[in-house]
Structure formats: C-alpha cells, structure tokens
Amino acid sequence: MAEQLEAMSADRSMLHASSEQMLKEIEQIKYVFRRLAARGQWGEQTLRLVVEASGMLKLIDFDDQPVFTDDDGGQRPDLVINLGGDMSVVVDAKAPFNSLIEATYARDDAERQQRLAVHVKNVRTHTDQLSAKQY
C-alpha cells in the first residue's frame, strides 16, 4: 500500500510539472500571436503551405508577395493565384485578431458578445479597406 501511495505521489508530481510547463508554453504562444508581425508571418507561411499542398506551383499557379506599383506607391498582397486568361485572385492572409482573442478570454457572456461585435466590425472595416485597393 505504501508503494502504491508513493507511486501515486510521484505521478501527481509529474502531472503537476507537465501542467506547469504547458501553461508556460501557452503563455508564450499567446504572446507571439498578439504581436502583429508574428501573426503576419504565421499567416503568410500557412497560406503558402496550403496552396503548395493543393498542388499549386510557385511562379506558375501562384506568386507570393508580388509588388504592384502605381501612382500611390506600392502594394504587396500575400499571394496572387493565377487563373489563366489574364485573370487572378489576390489573397491577403492578414485579418483583425485582437478582439477575437479578447472575446475568448471574456469574463462573462455580455463582455464576450461585445468583443465579438467589435471583431465583426473590425473584419468588415478590413474587408472594405482591402476591396478599395487597386492591384
């Protein structure tokens, strides 16, 4: 019986240490995703992996981060998918994210709903800004 209690105590200690390590790693991930540049890099890389996994070839089926210059300066979307016949689809992987994270950590349902409403507004604003661009 004493051996079983000792084994259970050791298991409990290992479980506690694992939980502590997991919490530290979660905090690091939260910190990284709150940084706009890190989220952007993650989104761009994930987008590239998705199109490559679908069988598309760079510079044939898509081009990542091409630069378009006009009178107002330069624009650089994350990806342009070539459809053929001089048609293409411009993809921007960035999206507002902070209000969604805040909604996830809301203390109650009223705060969550308010944060989600802000997120919807931010996504609409971002979509309007993107659609106004002339690539």
Using CB atoms within 10 A of its CB, is residue 1 exposed (0-12), middle (13-18) or buried (19+)? exposed
The lowest-confidence range among 47-61, 68-82, 93-107 is: 68-82
Residue with tokens 């006009």: 70
**pLDDT value, residue 7:** 80
What's the one-letter identity of residue 78? D
What's the one-letter identity of residue 54? S
**Measured torsion, CA atoms of residues 38, 108, 112, 94, in degrees rounded to the nearest 10:** 10
Q: Cα 59 to chain center, whole Å?
A: 24
pLDDT band at 108 (very low <50, low <70, confident <90, very high): very high
pLDDT single digits (tens) 1-47: 778 878 888 878 888 888 888 888 888 777 766 776 777 788 888 88
Residues comprising the chain, all counted: 135
pLDDT band at 84 (very low <50, low <70, confident <90, very high): confident
CA distance 135 to 74: 9
6 contact partners, CB below 8 Å, separation of at least 6: none
